[in-house]
Structure 1
Amino acid sequence: MPDHRYSDAERAAIYRAIYERRDMRHFLPDPVEPDRLARIIAAAHHAPSVGFMQPWRFIRITRPDLRQAIHGQVEQERLQTARALQEREDEFMRIKVEGIMECAEIIIASLSDRRDEHIFGRRTLPEMDLASLSCAIQNMWLAARAEGLGLGWVSMFEPEALKRLLAMPDDSQPFAILCLGHVERFYDEPLLQQERWASRLELNDCLFENAWNNPCKLTF
């Protein structure tokens, strides 16, 4: 049987990036070197996509006024989210949820316009465009960790307001505000787990065999 595995060291590096990746909120102001930034974005562009539709579009934010406006939109939604959480409002307000004003780079990850033209693999699951963009973001996240940079995914914004701010086409869709930059250190565990907001589920609670809730025979 052919053995296409990477070397032990190469495999260890990949798994290290996966397990040490963190959703970062604390950044240093140091700029990201252009070659590192280019490699990270190229990694995103090499993600898999259903029907090879490549629905991702990335907008790099370099204007300070746009960064400030984006931060304002996120802050507005943060307050709305806090109110919607009701009894957990105070707890939520103590958690740092973004690093927009501190990070070196802001990148808006979006779904392209004219996506309805792509039917291959989407006839019954049209949301596979979103799944494909998520793969691109994950590639970017892992590449950033391998490059020693932090990345944070911010989803607290009103999509139509952000579309207007960035002059996006009507049938496009902003999906993530990505904060990228140098960090003092990576969190030892996911920040929301560290803050006792939530904890990682046991893998066996998420893995079934042949039918829903039928335990899988694999052991971990």
Structure 2
Amino acid sequence: MNKFSNEEIAAVYKVIAERRDMRHFLPDPIEPELMTRLLHAAHLAPSVGFMQPWRFIRITDPALRAAIHQLVEQERINTAHALHEREDEFMRLKVEGVRECGELLVVALMDRREEYIFGRRTLPEMDLASVSCAIQNIWLAARAEGIGMGWVSLFDPEQLRLLLDMPAGAKPMAILCLGHVEAFYPKPMLELEGWATRHNLQDLVFENSWRHDDNRNPEAT
């Protein structure tokens, strides 16, 4: 079968449209079988040269979770300072659910990535693109299962690498908060909070060459 049914196709588009970056979670744990399905979905992601550069670290130690939260909190403060006139506005936002979520994952790039040349000779960052695909897979699968997920990027990668005893050359790319939620946001939370708005698609699609009329600064919206 080359094409899915209309109902299956609609379900795919619905999951994409209703995926949200969640920051509010219920304390209920995620069932082990469900967590296995989500990780398997991530592992089915495409990767350049089939290198499969993703590594997943499940955080089950409460003390380690608390230490990770401290790293996130410090970077939250540093980011607020860097935003200058929007500092107070940023500090009012809830930007993570590290302490509340049912499952905490750290997603990292593997070490010894320089050994993989296929597809990376001129674009070495394609390993990061592959890991991003794995994260998107788990995000969409979680939404289909009614599980919320939030991608946290507020941390010092070297400090987190050392905290988790990663080998030299490995690099943490995301802290993923997963868990049951009371409800999914009707729109992206940053849009609801007035931080930014979604761009019009026609402003982002060019034909044959770059259109040089976009001078927007997303942080100044």
Distance 1:63 1:135 in 2: 27
Equivalent AA in structure 1 for residue 140 of structure 2: L
Distance 1:38 1:12 in 2: 25
Q: Per the alignment, in what secondary structure is the counterpart of residue 213 of structure 1?
A: coil
Match of 2:217 in 1: none
Question: Aligned to 1:97, which of 95, 98, 109?
Answer: 95
Contact 1:208–1:214 under 8 Å retained in 2: no
How far has the Cα of 1:5 moved from its partner? 1.8
Give CA-to-partner distance per residue, 1:50-98, whole Å, 9 cap, x none.
0000000000000000000000000000000000100000000110000
Distance 1:33 1:9 in 2: 27
Match of 1:14 in 2: 12
Match of 2:85 in 1: 87
Q: Per the alignment, in what secondary structure is the counterpart of residue 40 of structure 1?
A: helix
How far has the Cα of 1:213 moved from its partner? 1.6
Distance 1:127 1:94 in 2: 33
Match of 1:115 in 2: 113
Q: Per the alignment, in what secondary structure is the counterpart of residue 202 of structure 2?
A: helix
Give CA-to-partner distance per residue, 1:148-196, whole Å, 9 cap, x none.
0000000000011001100000100000000000000000000000101
2:24 maps to 1:43: no
Question: Aligned to 2:168, which of 151, 167, 170?
Answer: 170
Q: Per the alignment, in what secondary structure is the counterpart of residue 4 of structure 1?
A: coil
Structure 1's unaligned 5+ residue stretches are 216-220
Contact 1:104–1:180 under 8 Å retained in 2: yes
Question: Aligned to 1:52, which of 50, 57, 60?
Answer: 50
Match of 1:193 in 2: 191
Distance 1:62 1:147 in 2: 22
Distance 1:46 1:35 in 2: 17
Distance 1:6 1:200 in 2: 30
Give CA-to-partner distance per residue, 1:91-148, whole Å, 9 cap, x none.
0011000000000000000000010000000000000000000000000000000110
Distance 1:15 1:214 in 2: 31
Equivalent AA in structure 2 for residue 96 of structure 1: K
Give CA-to-partner distance per residue, 1:19-69, whole Å, 9 cap, x none.
000000000000100111000000000000000000000000000000000
The equivalences for 1:20-39 within 5 A come to 20-39=18-37
How far has the Cα of 1:214 moved from its partner? 8.6
CA distance change for structure 1 residues 155 and 214 in 2, over 3 Å: closer, same or farther? closer
Distance 1:184 1:12 in 2: 24
Match of 1:218 in 2: none
Runs of 4+ in 1 over 4 A off after TM superposition: none
State the aligned residue count.
213
Question: Aligned to 1:152, which of 150, 153, 175?
Answer: 150
TM-score by length of 1: 0.95
Distance 1:158 1:77 in 2: 7
- Please tell me the root mean square deviation across aligned C-alpha atoms, in Å: 1.2
Distance 2:81 2:106 in 1: 26
